[in-house]
Amino acid sequence: MSHPYVDLPPSAFWRTAVAEVDRNCFPGLYEPRLTLVPATGVATAGSCFAQHIGHRLRISGCNVLDAEPVPAAMNETVAQAFGYALFSSRTGNIYTTRQLRQFLTDINEGYVDARFVWAKGPAFIDALRPTVEPEGLSSPKDVLLHRTYHLERTARMLRNADLFVFTLGLTECWEDRPTGRVFPICPGVVGGLFDPHVHAFRNLRYLDVLQDLEAIRELLHRFNPAMQMLLTVSPVPLTATVSGDHVMTATTASKAILRAAADEFVKTTPGTDYFPSFEIITQPASGGPWFEANMRRVSAAGVDKVMGIFLSAHGIMADPPPAPKTVGAPETASEADEIVCDEILLDEFSR
Amino acid sequence: MTLRLCIFGNSHIAAMREAWRTNPGRWPDIEARFVGAHGDLLLQTEIRDGHLYPMTTESRDALKRLNGIESVDLASSDALVIAGCQVALNHAVQLKRSMRWIGLPTLARTPELAMMMPALVSYSAARASLCAILSDLLGPTLARHFRAGTGKPCWIVSQPRYSVAVTQTKKPHLKPYVAAVRSGDGASLSSLFHDAADLAARAAGATFIPQHPGTIRRDMLTATQYMRGAMRLSAREDLPQPPDDISHANALYGALVIEQIIAAVIGQTGPDLPDLDLSDVEQGGE
């Protein structure tokens, strides 16, 4: 008897793809559609988890582009505090597709909107990347000069990018009502003043995310028409939600929307691919748990596992990913500690 | 009441030691001991029971040969002072090679910032970078060493800026410094250095004493009258620096620094140069 399941590959069956395979490697889980070779110019952006991807690609010898490289006289600690070497430009975390879309629009148009400067004590910060200058700058004019430089440098970098890796983090964001501009973090948390008449909570829906992704691709192609896009969904749960739902339910809804939109986008768009970092970290079949004791931060072993599978699939690293650790086990030289996560700033308000 | 100072340093301590030696009785009620050593020999020591002891043959030789001592009684000092020890403006000049910040006149003259080779950074990023560099240098490292081994208050005195004579030098390694002087960035570099050194000293548990403003010319240079006739740190007291030396200050400068140290330690503001009568201070060596 013949039916559609007869000729399916082992990766299509749970038993042969999950239950009975070496789950350290998950053969067939990720079969790249895009080419990544050492010469490929890679640009990275996204949420906290994207920092791991950029870092590991860099140390694996990939050509990770950097619009604003760390100046020679700046040490690693200072560089990290000021947002250097975390992504391919000093964007800070880009959590939502809407934020990335608006950022790329600004770069394309060379548009520097003077309205989005926040006061922080006696200093001023860029509302569109509020954590890259921890002490702020001395005037709004200085903030705008730095943003102009940032946009111009990023434009130059994107013209050399062959592959844009974006990690989708959140659907929840705060929007400036008059302009529709979204911020990476709620006004008032690290700077600026929250005004309920001006600032609105927005939880992006499936169609919002999908349309953003389509717009992002179009914007990226203005820099390089051949640029390819690789999407991942961050496995890091929300620190806090304003949706009214329990934070765990809100996390699931948010990640489901991002995952579904990414799936639709990749399935219908040439030159794109999806890497299942979310699945590797959150699926019980993957072992783990791959989180630290707070069940939010991805452990160094979890990052090793994700990036091991990714790099192996691209033939960049032959070593298999590590076996899981027991929950709460102390990390040795935890790379996860070095990740800069703005969203964690919200955690302060839960105490 | 006698104020007991213990002043440590590398070659730059010679200016103060010479001022002290050639002006006996100028500072009544002050008891000063000078402990000098080259390189990082002062770090090759350990502190036990309020005393500094050499831990290597080289540091033992330096204490004996240059200072005539085998150990240093820190416990009996009211203040520990570190002079020179690499805390110098030239590190800010080196910083400028890879980064620029708002406030530098040369930045304002740059037409396309995105095309500029050095990175545009914020002033606070530049200051944090310079602070990190200074923190690893001898002065702050020595301050941490002293603070860890004693509870004594500690001061770090700026190394003097290069002499005005540096503008005439042909030495290639000094060209960036001279270029910085001529660029008009001196005030901004000087301000950055002061802020970063202040932070680095505080992080090391010490207090920074900047170069006396009355000795500074064009923000980045030291007037020749404070540099000419500088002495070496050596076992011999009468060994001058070579004629083309542009790094070391003389006893006139050293006397000013001693005044600054005294003022800082007793909690006063620094001395005002015009009110100080230093006409009788020996310059030494000339």
| CB within 8 Å of A163: residues ≥ 6 apart | A34, A36, A40, A41, A42, A43, A227, A228, A229, A230
Q: Which residue has the higher pLDDT, A318 or B132?
A: B132
What is the C-alpha separation between A150 and A107, in angstroms, rounded?
Answer: 9
The highest-level CATH class for domain B3-275 is alpha beta
Instruction: Give the DSSP H/E element, type plus range, for residue B256.
Output: helix B251-265
* pLDDT tens sequence across A99-118: 999 999 999 999 999 999 99
52-111 in chain A: CB under 8 A from chain B: 68-69, 71-75, 77-78, 81-82
Verify whether the Cβ–Cβ distance B124 to A142 is below 8 Å.
Answer: no
- pLDDT digit string, tens, across residues B210-219: 999 999 999 9
Tens of pLDDT, residue by residue over B235-285, are 777 788 888 889 999 999 999 999 999 999 987 433 443 344 445 544 433
Closest to A133 (Cβ–Cβ): which among B98, B113, B124? Answer: B124
A318 pLDDT higher than 70: no
Predicted local confidence at residue A334, as pLDDT: 45
Q: How far is B95 from chain A (nearest CA, A)?
A: 6
Residue A335 binned pLDDT confidence (cut-offs 50, 70, 90) = very low
| Interchain CB contact of A148 with B (< 8 Å) | yes
Query: What region, left, alpha or beta, does residue B72 occupy, with left being phi > 0 and alpha being psi -120 to 50 degrees?
Result: beta
pLDDT at B272: 42
Cβ contact A97:A143 at 8 Å: no
pLDDT band at A342 (very low <50, low <70, confident <90, very high): low
Q: Which domains does chain A have, with CATH numbers?
A: 32-283 (3.40.50)
| Distance of alpha carbon B65 from alpha carbon B30, whole angstroms | 25
Residue B150 has a pLDDT of: 92
Residues whose CB is less than 8 angstroms from the CB of residue A350 and which lie 6 or more positions away in sequence, other chains included: A240
A159 inside 8 A of chain B by CB:
no
- Report the distance separating Cα B149 and Cα A245, nearest Å: 55
- Can you tell me whether residue B62 is helix, strand or coil? helix
Q: Count the alpha carbons within 13 Å of B108 in the hemisphere toward its beta carbon.
A: 8
Q: Give residue B242's pLDDT.
A: 85
Task: Give which of B163, B270, B177 is closest to B216, Cα–Cα.
Answer: B163
Q: What is the pLDDT of residues A243-260, one digit of tens each?
A: 999 999 999 999 999 999
Q: pLDDT of B17-69, one tens digit each?
A: 999 999 988 999 999 999 989 989 999 999 999 999 999 999 999 899 888 89
User: In this predicted model, which residue has the larger pLDDT, A148 or B274?
Assistant: A148
**Residue B99 to residue A69, Cβ atoms within 8 A:** no
- State how far the Cα of A193 lies from the Cα of A198, in Å rounded to an integer: 10
Q: Based on the number of CB atoms within 10 Å of its own CB, is B57 exposed (0-12), middle (13-18) or buried (19 or more)? A: exposed
pLDDT score for B280: 53
Cβ distance of A73 and B122 shorter than 8 Å: no
Residues of chain B with C-beta less than 8 angstroms from the C-beta of A69: 119
* pLDDT per position as a tens digit, A175-226: 999 999 999 999 999 999 999 999 999 999 999 999 999 999 999 999 999 9
DSSP character string of B211-253: PPGGGEETTTEE-GGGTTT-B-SSSSTT-BPPTT--S---HHH
Mean pLDDT estimate for chain A: 91
Cβ of residue A137 closer than 8 Å to a chain B Cβ? yes
pLDDT at A330 over 60: no
Is the peptide bond prior to A289 cis by the omega test (within 30 degrees of 0)? yes
Q: Tens digit of pLDDT for each residue in B121-156?
A: 999 999 999 999 999 999 999 999 999 999 899 999
- Give the Cα separation of A41 and B64 in Å (integer): 60
Return phi, psi of residue B263, to 5°: -60, -40
Location of structure tokens 């440590």: B8
CB contact under 8 A, A74 and B129: yes
Provide ipTM, 2 decimals: 0.88
**pLDDT tens, position by position, B166-210:** 999 889 999 999 999 999 999 999 999 999 999 999 999 999 999
Q: Which chain B positions have a beta carbon within 8 Å of A68's beta carbon?
A: 119
pLDDT, position A338: 55
User: Minimal CA–CA distance to B152: which of B253, B241, B230, B47?
Assistant: B47
Distance from CA of B131 to the nearest CA of A (A): 10
B102 closest CB neighbour out of A72, A136, A142: A142
C-alpha torsion sign, points B246, B248, B250, B253:
positive
pLDDT(B88) > 70: yes
Whether the CB-CB separation of A191 and A127 falls below 8 Å is answered with yes
Q: Which residue of A has its CA nearest to B111?
A: A149
Pick from B260, B231, B267: which is nearest to B66 by CA?
Answer: B231
Indicate the SS3 state at residue B263.
Answer: helix
DSSP reduced 3-state for B38? coil
Entry pTM? 0.90
Extended beta strands in chain B, E state: 3-9, 30-36, 45-48, 51-54, 72-73, 79-83, 99-101, 119-121, 154-157, 206-209, 216-217, 221-222
What pLDDT shows up at residue B129?
Answer: 98
Cα separation, A160 vs A245, whole angstroms: 42
pLDDT for res A345: 65
Residue B232 has a pLDDT of 85
Q: What is the pLDDT of residues A54-92, one digit of tens each?
A: 999 999 999 999 999 999 999 999 999 999 999 999 999
Confidence (pLDDT) at B275: 43
The predicted pLDDT at position A337 comes to 46
Instruction: Kindly report the nearest CA distance between residue B44 and chain A, in angstroms.
Output: 26
Sorted by sequence, the CB contacts under 8 Å of residue B106 that are 6+ apart come out as: B100, B183, B184, B185
Of residues B40, B134, B20, B142, the one with CA closest to residue B88: B134
Q: Where do the domains of chain B lie? A: 3-275
Q: Which residues of A touch B97 (CB under 8 A)?
A: 72-73
What per-residue confidence (pLDDT) applies to A105?
98
